[in-house]
Amino acid sequence: MEQIQKRLDFRDEISKNKWKSFGLIVLVFLVLVVLGYVISMAFEPGYFFIILIFSIIFSISYILISYYNSARIAVLSVGAKKASRNDYPDYYRLVEGLTLASGLPMPELFVMPSKQINAFASGRDPQHAVVCVTRGSLEKLERRELEGVLAHELSHIANYDIRYVTLVAVMVGMIAIISEIFLRSLWFSNGDRDKKNGVFIVIGIVLAILAPIIVQLVQLSISRKREYAADASAVKFTRYPEGLIKALTKIKGDVIEPEKKVSKAVAPLFFANPFKGLTSTHPPIEDRISKLKRM
C-alpha cells in the first residue's frame, strides 16, 4: 500500500529554510573563528589580526563592487537585452500581476538569447532589481508555467537573497585568503617553534587545507536552501504550485546542451542549473517537484 506523504505548508517551508540558511552562515562564521584561533596560537596573536584586517579589506572591497553592480554585471555577462513592453506584453503583464500580489516594485525586465528554459533575478534590493528570462522560456512555457518561474525569481528579490549570498561570499573569501596567507607564511618562518606551537601549526595546516573546502560545500548548501525557500514563496504569490511543477518537469525533460555563455559566478542566480552538472548550487529537480506536490 502506497504511503501517504504529509502535506507541507508553504509558510512553514519558507521559515524552515530561512532558519537553515542562518544556521549554515553561523557555521561558516565558526569555521572562521576556529581557524583564526589556531593561527593566533601557532604564531603571535597580532600576526593573525594583520592577516584578518587585510582579508576583510580585500574581501569586502571586491564583494561590494560586485554587490552594488550585481544587476548590471549579471545581464551584461549573459548577453541579455532589455525587454520592451510592445515585444513582450504577456511577460510584462505576468510580472506586474505578481508585483501586485507580492507588494514588490516593478523590476527591469530582460530577455536572454538562449534555447534553455531558465531565468534569473539580481539586484541589491527590490528597488534595484532585474528579472531576466531566456527566449526558450518564453517559447516553451505556458502562461501559468511562466508565471511560476517568474514568481520564483521575484521571491529571491523579496527574500533579499543577494544579501545572503554577498554575506556568505565575504566570509568564504576571508577564509580562503587567511588560509592561503597562513600556508605561504610557513615557508618564511624560521622554524624555531616550541612543541606547543608546533602542534597548533600542524592543526592550522590541516584546517587551512580543509576549511575552504568545507565552507564552499556550506555555500552550496545555503544556495540550495534559498532555492527551496523561493519555490515555497512562489506558491505563496501564485497559490498555484502546479505551474511551477510543470515548468520544472519541462526543464527536466529539456535536451538542450549546457549553457556555454554563462559564467560560474552567475550560474547560482538561475532558476535551474544552466550547466546541468553534478556539483550544483541548485537542489535536484526531483526533490523540488516532490516538495511542491505536497504543498
Name the residues annotated as catalytic: 153
Count how many residues are written for the chain: 295
For the chain, where are the alpha helices, taking DSSP H only? 10-42, 45-68, 70-77, 89-102, 135-140, 143-158, 161-185, 195-238, 241-253, 285-293
At 126, list the grid cell: 527590490
Report the distance separating Cα 83 and Cα 189, nearest Å: 58
Residue position matching grid coordinates 601549526: 201
Alpha carbon separation from 146 to 8, 81, 143 (Å, rounded): 23, 19, 5
Query: Looking at this protein, which amino acid is placed at residue 28?
Result: V
Contacts with 274 (C-beta within 8 Å, 6 or more apart), sequence order: 116, 118, 258, 259, 262, 267
Report the distance separating Cα 179 and Cα 35, nearest Å: 8
Instruction: Give the other-Cβ count within 10 Å of 221's Cβ.
Output: 17
At 27, list the grid cell: 557555521
Report the distance separating Cα 151 and Cα 145, nearest Å: 10
Query: Looking at this protein, which amino acid is placed at residue 79?
Result: G
